[in-house]
Structures are given as C-alpha cells and as structure tokens.
C-alpha cells in the first residue's frame, strides 16, 4: 500500500488548479445510461472512483471512449441491468445505477452497498422513494433486485435531504410518466449539476438548488455534451492547506459560489479569502483562532470539510467545538491527529479541539477520504516527518494531491 511522506513546516505559496467534482461526476456519468445516443462528459477528475464508474458503465453494456478529461458514452440498446458485485461493492455511489436502469430497462440488480468507515449509510430513503414511482425491490444474497413497469410520477417527501436519494430520484423520474415532486430534497451544488446535465439532455427539471424540485417526465433523452462543475471540497481542502501551512495560495477554477459557508468559517478563523475573476486567493495569518462548527446539509457547513477544519484548528489559538450531525462516526481522523500531538476530546457527536499545539510528525493511518486529507494537512504543519498510510482512501477523491502540493512548495513524496 502506498504512503505519503511529508516534511512539515514549509509555508505553501503559488497556484493550484482545482479539478472537476467527484461527487458531481459520479451521478452524471451514471445518468448517461438514460440516453440512447452519445453523451460527452468533460472536466472529469483523474480519480479512482471515476475510473470505477466508467468501468461499471462498460459492464452495463455502454461503449465508453476516454480522451483526456472527457469521456464519450453510448448507452445503446445493449444495456444490461446487472453489475458485478466485486466492482459495485468498492464504490457506494453505485447505488445510483438503480434510477437509470429502472427508468431505461424496468430492471436493476446492484449489490447492497455495505457500510463504510464513517457510518452505516443505509439506502432506505432511496428505495422507499423509488417505490413511490412504482418500483419494487427484493433482496437476493446481498443484491438488490429492482423491477417496475414504466415508472409513474409521484409526490415524494424525504425524511432527510439525502444527496444520493435526491440524485437517484432525479435519475429515475426524468423518463417517468407524468410529474414528480421532491420535497425536502437535497440542495447540494452537485445535485444541481446533475439536474443541469439532465436538462441539457432534454429533461424538464425545475427547482434544483431548492428543497422543492419538480420533474416533468419526457419520452426520451437526447445526445448532449456537458462539463462537470469544479470540486468545492477539493478547493476547500487547499484553502485549509494555505491556512495550516501559514501560506498564500491562488486557486484556479475554484467554485467559490458553492463555498459561501466554508469561506465564511475560514474568514472567522482569520484567513484572508479573496474571490477574484479567475483565481481565489487564500492567505493565512499568524493569529488564526479556533471557532465552533456544526455540520449541516447544504447550504450549511459541509460534513466533507469537517476533518480538514479539525486539523486546522489544532494549530489555531483558543479552542473550538465541532458537531457532526450528518454521519454517526466521522471523527476517526481525531484519533490519528492526537498521535501528532493534537488535543481533542470527543463526546458523542461533538469534538472539542484545544488549539495552539506544536504538532510533531509521526506515522498515521488514513481511514476514509476526508480523514486522509486532514492527516496530510496536519503533516504540512507538523515538525519533522509525518507518514500517512493507506492513502488509497485519498486517491479516491483527490487528483494527484502530492503533485499539486509539491508544486506549491510542500516537501511531500509518495512511497510505493
């Protein structure tokens, strides 16, 4: 397993280009199965999960051709409703195949995604809302078998604004008969990006970005070309890198329009963030101060930035509280940060971070995608050498992180 070796203490400065959004790319790629013609998706990040999704599309019978950061996909008549377990189980987002396959074929078989490090992550809201459209599901040795006649529009109210659940419903409802209304829908920018992509293919979705989304079913979708939005969580992670290293970074292709709450929290800590025309500049300050954070569905503070802020607060003054309300077990990075000298107390869904720590480099272990990012960030500030192990977690969601950091002065290398 690869590991990253970091010599801390060097302020970062220079330009970092933000890649396309993983969490927008995955549902959009799977949504291409709804289109009988050719779909060309550009601005894709070079990530493990993107590669896995394209491989999955091929196994469903799509023909895929990659050219640089684009892929051309034709989901013609040879579409199959099944995907192999060993591929599906490696990526939770595979559950988003249900919507398109039910809509196109009336059948779908995907592995029931297991839990993961950050929580049980059930898909009950996905299944219950798809049943409202007329689908029915059975469980067969760990797989979900779904089938339906033609899906019919319905009025669905989510118990919780689930990102994946909202995306699965968008993917299923665009070809359903009649109108579907989603209440308490997720408002994340990646959900809106999926809706924009589907509308570019001829779907009739309105209200995306609000908690009330309307989808008028159409007979079929048509060829389109679409560019995925930039990754707001990758951008937020590099803002934290500027802060924790005492540096000054310019981020290109940065979706600051999707980072209002995150930028407000960075400014509250004392970072300077200037959103310009083509670059967003982030400068650290010698007296960063801890703050309090509660993770919320968008437009609240994103759970995917919680680990990064925890690392940053370890070196800021005072103390701060982080309450994680989205996932039930998303403080695994705290235990590893303590190995570097961080002072963190966890009780239930709340972490208390005492700042002003001199972090000392040590070997640490990644457990999930954003936890690994927070350990890399801490390594940038820690005195001496920090080795981050199991960085396959990192490779799932960050394109060439060690190269991008090295280009702005970090002393970091990957050891195979």
Chain residues binding ligand EPZ by CB under 6 A are 23, 26, 93, 119, 121-126, 160, 162-165, 188, 303-304, 326-327, 369-370, 397
CA distances from 266 to 31, 175, 318 (A): 34, 42, 15
Tell how strand 363-365 and strand 385-389 pair up: parallel
Output DSSP code: residue 321: E
Identity of the residue, 169 or 279, whose beta carbon is nearer to ligand EPZ in the bound complex: 169
Cα 227 from Cα 45, distance rounded (Å): 11
The distance of closest approach from Cβ of residue 122 to ligand EPZ in the complex, given in angstroms and rounded to an integer, is: 5
Identity of the residue, 14 or 142, whose beta carbon is nearer to ligand EPZ in the bound complex: 142
Identity of the residue, 89 or 383, whose beta carbon is nearer to ligand EPZ in the bound complex: 89
Encoding tokens for residue 152?
Answer: 């019919």
Cα 189 from Cα 136, distance rounded (Å): 30
The distance of closest approach from Cβ of residue 306 to ligand EPZ in the complex, given in angstroms and rounded to an integer, is: 9
170: left (phi > 0), else alpha (psi -120 to 50), else beta?
alpha
Identity of the residue, 103 or 326, whose beta carbon is nearer to ligand EPZ in the bound complex: 326
Tell how strand 155-157 and strand 136-140 pair up: unpaired
Q: Decide: 262 and 236 in contact? Cβ < 8 Å.
A: yes
Identity of the residue, 370 or 389, whose beta carbon is nearer to ligand EPZ in the bound complex: 370
Q: CB-based contacts of 246: which residues, under 8 Å, 6+ apart?
A: 11, 284, 286
Q: CB-based contacts of 76: which residues, under 8 Å, 6+ apart?
A: 36, 61, 62, 63
Task: Count other C-beta atoms under 10 Å from residue 240's C-beta.
Answer: 27
The distance of closest approach from Cβ of residue 11 to ligand EPZ in the complex, given in angstroms and rounded to an integer, is: 27
In the bound state, the residue with its beta carbon closest to ligand EPZ is 164
Q: What angle do CA 347, 370, 73 make, to 5 degrees?
A: 140
Q: From the candidates 116, 148, 224, 254, which is the catalytic residue?
A: 116
Residue 116 among the catalytic residues: yes
Q: Decide: 246 and 315 in contact? Cβ < 8 Å.
A: no
The distance of closest approach from Cβ of residue 101 to ligand EPZ in the complex, given in angstroms and rounded to an integer, is: 18
The distance of closest approach from Cβ of residue 356 to ligand EPZ in the complex, given in angstroms and rounded to an integer, is: 29
Stretch (H or E) spanning 17: strand 13-17
Measure CA 187 to chain center: 14
Identity of the residue, 174 or 394, whose beta carbon is nearer to ligand EPZ in the bound complex: 394
The distance of closest approach from Cβ of residue 76 to ligand EPZ in the complex, given in angstroms and rounded to an integer, is: 26
Residues labelled catalytic: 116
């Amino acid at each position: 397993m690869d590991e990253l070796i970091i010599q801390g203490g060097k302020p970062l400065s220079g330009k970092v280009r933000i890649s396309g959004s993983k969490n927008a790319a995955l549902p959009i790629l799977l949504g291409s199965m709804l289109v009988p013609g050719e779909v060309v998706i550009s601005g894709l990040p070079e990530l493990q999960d993107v590669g896995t999704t394209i491989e999955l599309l091929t196994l469903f019978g799509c023909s895929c051709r990659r050219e640089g950061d684009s892929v051309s996909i034709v989901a013609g008549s040879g579409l199959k409703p099944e995907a192999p377990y060993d591929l599906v189980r490696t990526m939770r987002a595979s559950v988003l195949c249900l919507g398109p396959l039910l809509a196109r074929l009336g059948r779908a078989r995907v592995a029931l995604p297991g839990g993961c490090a950050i929580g049980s992550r059930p898909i009950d809201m996905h299944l219950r809302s798809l049943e409202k459209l007329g689908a029915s599901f059975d469980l067969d040795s760990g797989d979900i078998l779904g089938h339906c006649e033609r899906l019919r529009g319905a009025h669905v109210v989510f118990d919780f604004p689930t990102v994946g659940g909202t995306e699965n419903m968008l993917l299923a409802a665009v070809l359903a008969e009649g109108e579907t209304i989603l209440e308490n829908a997720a408002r994340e920018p990646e959900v809106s990006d999926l809706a924009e992509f589907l509308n570019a293919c001829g779907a009739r979705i309105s209200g995306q970005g609000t908690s009330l989304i309307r989808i008028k079913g159409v007979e079929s979708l048509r060829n389109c070309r679409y560019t995925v939005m930039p990754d707001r969580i990758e951008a937020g992670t590099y803002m934290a890198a500027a802060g924790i290293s005492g540096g000054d970074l310019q981020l290109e292709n940065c979706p600051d329009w999707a980072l209002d709450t995150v930028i407000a929290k960075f400014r509250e800590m004392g970072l300077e963030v200037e959103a310009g025309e083509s670059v967003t500049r982030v400068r650290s300050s010698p007296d960063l101060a801890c703050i309090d954070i509660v993770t919320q569905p968008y437009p609240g503070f994103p759970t995917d930035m919680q680990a990064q802020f925890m690392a940053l607060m370890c070196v800021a003054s005072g103390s701060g509280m982080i309450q994680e309300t989205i996932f039930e077990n998303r403080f695994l990075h705290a235990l590893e940060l303590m190995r570097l000298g961080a002072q963190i107390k966890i009780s239930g869904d709340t972490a208390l971070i005492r700042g002003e720590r001199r972090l000392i480099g040590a070997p640490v272990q990644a457990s999930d995608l954003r936890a690994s990012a927070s350990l890399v960030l801490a390594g940038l500030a820690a005195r001496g050498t920090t080795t981050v192990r199991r960085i396959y977690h990192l490779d799932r969601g960050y394109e060439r992180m060690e190269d991008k950091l090295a280009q702005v002065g970090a002393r970091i290398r990957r050891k195979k």
